[in-house]
Structure 1
Amino acid sequence: MSSRVAKRSLSKRVFATMLTMSLITIVVFALALTLFMQKRLVDSTSEELASEARVVAASLNSSPSYVGMLRRLQQDDTRITLVGKDGDVLYDTDIDESKMEDHGDRPEIEEAFETGSGSSDRASSTLGEVMLYEAVRLADGSVVRLAKGEAGYLSVLWSLAGPVAILTAVGVVVSVAVARRESSRIIEPLLEVDLDHPQRNAQNAYAEMEPMLERIETQRQELKRQVRVLANNDRMRREFTANITHELKTPLTTVSGYAELIANGMVTDEADLRDFGRRIYNEAGRLTSLVNDILTLSNLDEAERSEDGAASATLGTREPIDVPRTLDGIAQRLEQVAQRADVRIELACEPAMVVGVPRLIDELAYNLASNAIRYNRPGGVVTLSCGVEQVGGSDADEASGLFAPYICVADTGIGIAAEEQGKIFERFYRVDKSRSKARGGTGLGLAIVKHAAAYHGARIELDSELGRGTSISVHFPVQELPEL
């Protein structure tokens, strides 16, 4: 409903604007035409009056009696006045000359005395109306003056008012029709815009609309992307819920089963009790690891969404971390695990430091290393390396204390198929599903690596090939660090 009102209002506004401009144009044109016609009538009347004045003057100059000649020349619409050299009125066709004041100071009379002829357009002090005057000096020095009132030429102008009014009315009607048609034509491209596919309107749209259509298309694509992200997040949430339920249910069932056997006195042999206790302990440890990983991921997720820094505080304080020392500690902690898997751990570390949360950096490297051992083969090698990368290919960066640290974990294991490489950082995703339980782990290690790297502004690079092993490197951003 609101959209229809908006369209109707816009159409009316365009129509009103166009009609107003048309009416203003018509009115201005009518006024200009009227003024032009008035001027032409005044000029024409003045020329006729001047011609008559010259004829009257010629007749008077050839007549022995001015007054007698003037009486014969008298016209209904023309006033004739004879003014003596001293300014006294000698004769007037409309008023008794004895009642008239001195006319020597009249503009047209003064001009005629000086130059031989004169004219003016003014209000008559005698008759009280606007008159056109033409005066001509006679041979004896007196002046004859002819005058016509404005009513004479205005009557002609008024006679043209009807046709002008008709033309104006026709112009108004035409303007209304044209304004209505043009306003509809102007609004039509706006009404035809397909907001679901803005780019389809590019050819028919106005140039001024293109930026708006581009913004709509950009926002539409962004909304589609957000919908896909939300749908993907919802799918991942459901999968995560299903996976976490399964992962929690399995060890809980095991613990519950063993505990029930012990509680019911069905296990009496001391060796069996120790074995059951060991299994319960292992499953409890697996549960603890799973819960810890879930908490870590939850905190990382919250930190990524939070803008106030409160969630980040739960992850720990950032501080300079000696990466080689961290990798060395991880190698020692995983030494027995590697020996049981018949895998050798090698260190290839150069000085490197990262400003970050020690616990997260440790978990990041630990998960990469434990995965490299878990998915290796007997007699395989896991290489833990670190260092700094030159930025811009100049020694100046190193001298100024700016470094781009990296951590790399490479193995000679089973490798990852190309179609699987984009999925390994998903939660609970395992490359070798057939032996995932035997290999252990919670399935959240690489997901923690991904989010921990993102939390520190780092990028992850993966290089893997089936049967040849895998190399995962984490490249941290350039940062200012103290000298090592």
Structure 2
Amino acid sequence: MPDTAETAHITAPRSMAHLLRTTLMAVGILSLLLSVVGAALLFQHAFAEQFDTDLSRTVEAIAVGYEHSADPQPEQLAQYADGLRLTLVAQDGTVLYDSATADPSTLPNHANRPEIQQAMAEGTGASVRRSATLGYDTHYYAVRLTDGSVLRLADETSNMWSSYNRVLPVLVAGCILIIILALVLAQVITKHLVQPITRMAEHLDCIEANVPYEELIPLAHTVQSDRKLREDNETIRREFTANVSHELKTPLTSISGYAELIENGMAKQEDIPTFGHRIHKEAQRMITLVSDILQLSELDGMSKQQENSPTADFVPVDLGVLVKDVATNMTVNARKAYITLQYKVQPVTVRGSHDLLTELVTNLCDNAIRYNRPGGHVELSCGTNADGCPYFCVEDNGIGIPQDSQSRVFERFYRVDKSRSKATGGTGLGLAIVKHIAVLHGARIDLESTVGTGTTIRIIFPKM
């Protein structure tokens, strides 16, 4: 049963198509609303300006006609009204004439009206009074006459919200139609955008060749790299499994055969010690192989750990002292193989793991002895190169490595000379372990080798 604490953080993936449709619909509706409201405000403003201009021209024309009459009387303004509301106000605010009222004396004093006050002071005045209940705006424009009185013209027009109320059914129908069109368009666009991505996912083997959009190139590259890495890892795993099975099968078959001869009494008494020795030798070979495999597995785990906390457990290591110790320990093996082992060291310190560096130096020294000829020599050295980087070097005059094999000698179970490796008890993992240890320490491996002349391997460490 899955852990609830972990599953609580897992959320179902969202639908890209649904997200695109929703986004397009939202953008369409928002754009529609903003366009309608913006256009209405602009049209209302433009209409109000034009309406005020017409109103001012009309009242100024009426004022000119009224003042140029032979005997100007308030009642004469009736001929100019023609559906308009004309009001004549005396200097003290008394209403002398109003086309909408038969008896102007019943009207209140207009001296406090803003358009009247402005006209008295500046010659002309204008104002707008809105009626929220009736939905109309009343525009006033006033002109001061030569006798000091003020002639005012008023007219009503529907405000924006009143106009909206009248055309609301049309607007609703238009909005519904636009939303339907937006939904259809969003569906078409979403399908057009998502379909190439779906096709790309159906052909992962050539995903980088079928990228429909530039923004998906990094994703396609990552997927392709991940697939290649997985395939390479699977190939390595199969090869590793096959090699391990083969390497274990050979000594097990030998052990089983000798043990069976002894068990069935088929072995002569004088052959039993020889068979026991061979069983012991093959068992040691298996132990060495298993030990190397476990060490490689441990190094793989350390490599992953180092990615998160590089060199966290590393300490300064005196490479000169370490090389001397390894050379001393390997002297017996060198004598058994009739090899001269020498070392030449300079005081140098590297940051790393003492045990792993000992393994690295030991494996390289053992390899140089193992693949040498009787009477040959091996030299271990360490110091600082011209760039100031610490290095360790092992040089021999052994059988050498062919040019076409030099790029593969650090692979697991790879052997240049399989018969010689088995004869000397090699597992084919020594140089693979060396490579892993070097990588863990950020070191570089340089290999120089000539068949029949010898091999030089140099491990160059980063500066402290």
Q: TM-score, normalised by structure 1?
A: 0.70
Identity of aligned residues (%): 20
Give distance in 1, aligned partners of 2:438 and 2:105. Answer: 119
Amino acid at match of 2:140: L
Amino acid at match of 1:99: T
1:57-81 Cα distance to aligned partner (Å, 9 max, x none)? 322xx12x7366456x374523444
Give distance in 1, aligned partners of 2:77 and 2:361. Answer: 129
Q: 1:475 aligns with which of 451, 455, 459?
A: 459
Match of 2:126 in 1: 120
Report the CA distance between 1:48 and its aligned residue: 1.0
> Residue 182 and residue 455 in structure 1: after superposition, are their counterparts in 2 closer, same or farther (change >3 A)?
closer
Match of 1:292 in 2: 288
> Residue 437 and residue 66 in structure 1: after superposition, are their counterparts in 2 closer, same or farther (change >3 A)?
closer
Match of 1:26 in 2: 36
Match of 2:6 in 1: none
1:169-214 Cα distance to aligned partner (Å, 9 max, x none)? 7698568647854885587345423253554466x635xx2xx522
Report the CA distance between 1:96 and its aligned residue: 1.5
> Which structure is larger by alpha-carbon Rg, 1 or 2?
1
Contact 2:421–2:427 (8 Å) recurs in 1: no
Q: Report which stretch shifted further, 419-428 or 293-302.
A: 419-428
Amino acid at match of 1:66: Q
Match of 2:311 in 1: none
Amino acid at match of 2:378: T
> Residue 456 and residue 332 in structure 1: after superposition, are their counterparts in 2 closer, same or farther (change >3 A)?
farther
Contact 1:23–1:175 (8 Å) recurs in 2: no
Give distance in 2, aligned partners of 1:68 and 1:47. Answer: 21
> After the TM superposition, which residues 183-194 of structure 1 pair with which residues of structure 2 at under 5 Å, given as runs?
184-185=188-189, 188-189=192-193, 191-193=195-197, 194=200
Contact 1:461–1:473 (8 Å) recurs in 2: yes
Report the CA distance between 1:217 and its aligned residue: 0.7
> After the TM superposition, which residues 249-268 of structure 1 pair with which residues of structure 2 at under 5 Å, given as runs?
249-258=253-262, 260-261=264-265, 267=268
Report the CA distance between 1:52 and its aligned residue: 1.5
SS in structure 2 of the partner of residue 473 of structure 1: strand
1:291-348 Cα distance to aligned partner (Å, 9 max, x none)? 0342243134223314679xxxxxxx9964431452244234331332xxxxx42525
Q: TM-score, normalised by structure 2?
A: 0.73
Q: Which runs of 5+ in 2 are unaligned?
A: 1-11, 131-135, 307-314
Match of 1:99 in 2: 106
Contact 1:19–1:175 (8 Å) recurs in 2: yes
Q: 1:418 aligns with which of 403, 409, 415?
A: 403
Give distance in 2, aligned partners of 1:452 and 1:108. Answer: 95
2:403 maps to 1:405: no
Report the CA distance between 1:457 and its aligned residue: 5.1
2:228 maps to 1:233: no
Amino acid at match of 2:149: V
Match of 2:8 in 1: none
Give distance in 1, aligned partners of 2:330 and 2:183. Answer: 82
Report the CA distance between 1:29 and its aligned residue: 0.8
> After the TM superposition, which residues 73-112 of structure 1 pair with which residues of structure 2 at under 5 Å, given as runs?
73=79, 75-83=81-89, 88-93=94-99, 94-104=101-111, 106=113
Match of 2:217 in 1: 213
> Residue 255 and residue 304 in structure 1: after superposition, are their counterparts in 2 closer, same or farther (change >3 A)?
same
Give distance in 2, aligned partners of 1:26 and 1:362. Answer: 81
> After the TM superposition, which residues 451-462 of structure 1 pair with which residues of structure 2 at under 5 Å, given as runs?
451=436, 453-454=438-439, 458-462=443-447
Q: Report which stretch shifted further, 100-109 or 299-308.
A: 100-109
Match of 1:35 in 2: 45
Match of 2:354 in 1: 356
1:140-174 Cα distance to aligned partner (Å, 9 max, x none)? x3636343341xx549x989998999699769856
Contact 1:323–1:351 (8 Å) recurs in 2: no
Match of 1:347 in 2: 342
Give distance in 2, aligned partners of 1:108 and 1:245. Answer: 112
Contact 2:327–2:343 (8 Å) recurs in 1: no
Amino acid at match of 1:356: H
Give distance in 1, aligned partners of 2:369 and 2:263. Answer: 30
CA RMSD across the alignment:
4.4
Give distance in 1, aligned partners of 2:298 and 2:194. Answer: 44
